[in-house]
Amino acid sequence: MTIATFVTHIYRTSHVSVFTRVRYFSIAVILLVLATTVVRGEQVLLGDPALTAGVPGNGPISVPQIETWLDDEHNFTELTPVLPLGLSQGSSQITGLDENPLTRAKIELGRQLYFDPRLSVDSTVSCASCHDPSMGYTAQTKTGVGIKGQAGGRNSPVSFNRILSDKQFWDGRAGSLEEQAVGPIANPIEMGFTHEGVVKRLASMPVYAKQFETIFGSVTIDAVGKAIAAFERVLVTAPSPYDYNEQWRAFKDLEPEDLEDDPELAELYAEAAAGVKSHPMSDSAKRGRDLFFTEKGNCTACHVGANLADEKYHNIGVGMDHETPDAGRHAVTKDTVDTGAFKTPTVRNVALTAPYMHDGSMDTLEEVVEWYNKGGHPSRHLSSKIRPLNLTDQEQADLVEFMRACTGPTPPVETSRLPADA
């Protein structure tokens, strides 16, 4: 009998007293929780360097190395991701794991694919060309630059913290990370290949072929998307000074006597105190935080939640003075209110990812704040949340300082170990 039929059975059995029903129901709930824990295998804290360290060894990955790796059962345990401090409040936002369970083997295959230029037609461009870990997982170009130096129409967004994001692209046209991941491969100005072409090429390389066969049954474009998405889901930002400061805010008003009889609370208090001590936020950043989160700056009208992004689309006026402005979200929904609306980007690690906005039109965070301060650019579909802020120069500087304090390290990732050609 499954747990669900057991519960239904209890409910349908009318002679059982209410008390017994409640008791059985509680037992069923406990069983259900246990069952999910068992199915979900092992918990891992995202950011763990071991997840992105690559197959052990040096030089190109060889067939014997990959065979040893694939023989290790540990690499096939289903992983339940645990988000680091700060992002953890967004745990309920995680999607896609039921359709594409995380395992170390899948994450590692995705890592190889992400850094491999052989996924582009002329083997010159990889995902990392435009989402480079050493550049905050973006590229420092105004718009993405693909094969033969061709420039695209939009700025490269970050490819981290995607585990907290459902729809992808500035206009949200990809319904999942899996769907997004295979787009650039066949985009003529990005990687310029075809899905058939890339599948054939991967199948011709024994190290890739073995991994796809073992993990997915065969090489398919669908499997390529799943592996890359699995890798992207473990790329998260570790706590920033902002996160330590938030953790501390919950404790700072406690009195010593509050901690006396509560060793657990005392331990949490000590942890929070140590966090702000080792990752301090300047006074300017603290003032910026208050502007960001209150009516005055109004940034959290959109940059909200664990990833400081509401996963919604807004027209803030950027690029709307062009002769033919980018339609943004409108191209997907055909709804007039979505004209010129783009997905709110995260403010996490934003200090590392200039230039800014969907068109890469702003070079500095100072420029961005100035934009908001003047109320954006007049546009017929400008969001009602955008209005002149009347901030002083100091307040504008404080907002920039706050955003700089939202910088936390991303995990170290092996970028050069890729499968041997043959």
C-alpha closest to that of 77 among 49, 38, 36:
38
Which is nearer to ligand HEC, 271 or 370 (by Cβ)? 370
Locus of tokens 């702003």: 362
Which is nearer to ligand HEC, 160 or 269 (by Cβ)? 160
Is residue 320 involved in binding ligand HEC (CB under 6 A)? no
Is residue 118 involved in binding ligand HEC (CB under 6 A)? no
Query: Taking the complex as a whole, how short is the minimal distance between the CB of residue 244 and ligand HEC, in angstroms?
Result: 20
Which is nearer to ligand HEC, 61 or 130 (by Cβ)? 130
Number of residues in contact with ligand HEC under rule CB under 6 A: 55
Give the per-residue contact string, 60-99, with ligand HEC (x = CB under 6 A; - = no).
----------------------------------------
Residue count of the chain: 422
Asked whether 125 and 151 are in contact (CB, 8 A), the reply is: no
At 262, list the tokens: 């509560």
Locus of tokens 């069923």: 28
Is residue 413 involved in binding ligand HEC (CB under 6 A)? no
**Which residue from 90, 133, 275, 345 is in contact with ligand HEC, where contact means CB under 6 A?**
345
Options 54-62, 77-85, 257-265, 348-356: segment touching ligand HEC (CB under 6 A): 348-356
**Which residue from 125, 227, 234, 405 is in contact with ligand HEC, where contact means CB under 6 A?**
125
Residues 6+ away with beta carbon under 8 Å from 348: 160, 161, 237, 240, 307, 308, 406, 407, 408
**Which residue from 86, 297, 408, 419 is in contact with ligand HEC, where contact means CB under 6 A?**
297
The CA distances from residue 272 to 242, 277, 302, 347, in Å, are 12, 9, 27, 23
Query: Taking the complex as a whole, how short is the minimal distance between the CB of residue 400 and ligand HEC, in angstroms?
Result: 8
Alpha-carbon span 356 to 376, nearest angstrom: 14
Alpha-carbon span 205 to 207, nearest angstrom: 6
The CA distances from residue 194 to 153, 154, 169, 274, in Å, are 20, 21, 20, 52
Give the per-residue contact string, 136-175, with ligand HEC (x = CB under 6 A; - = no).
--------xxx-----x-x-xx-x--x--x--xxxx----
At 169, list the tokens: 């692209």
Is residue 372 involved in binding ligand HEC (CB under 6 A)? yes
Q: Which amino acid is at 29?
A: V
Query: Taking the complex as a whole, how short is the minimal distance between the CB of residue 66 and ligand HEC, in angstroms?
Result: 21
C-alpha closest to that of 148 among 132, 133, 129, 131:
129
Asked whether 357 and 392 are in contact (CB, 8 A), the reply is: no
Contacts to ligand HEC from residues 215-244, by CB under 6 A:
228, 232
Asked whether 399 and 242 are in contact (CB, 8 A), the reply is: no
Residues near ligand HEC, by CB under 6 A: 114, 125, 127, 129-131, 144-146, 152, 154, 156-157, 159, 162, 165, 168-171, 180-181, 184-185, 190-191, 228, 232, 297-299, 301-303, 314, 316, 318, 342, 344-345, 347, 350, 353, 356-358, 365, 368-369, 372, 383, 385-386, 399, 403
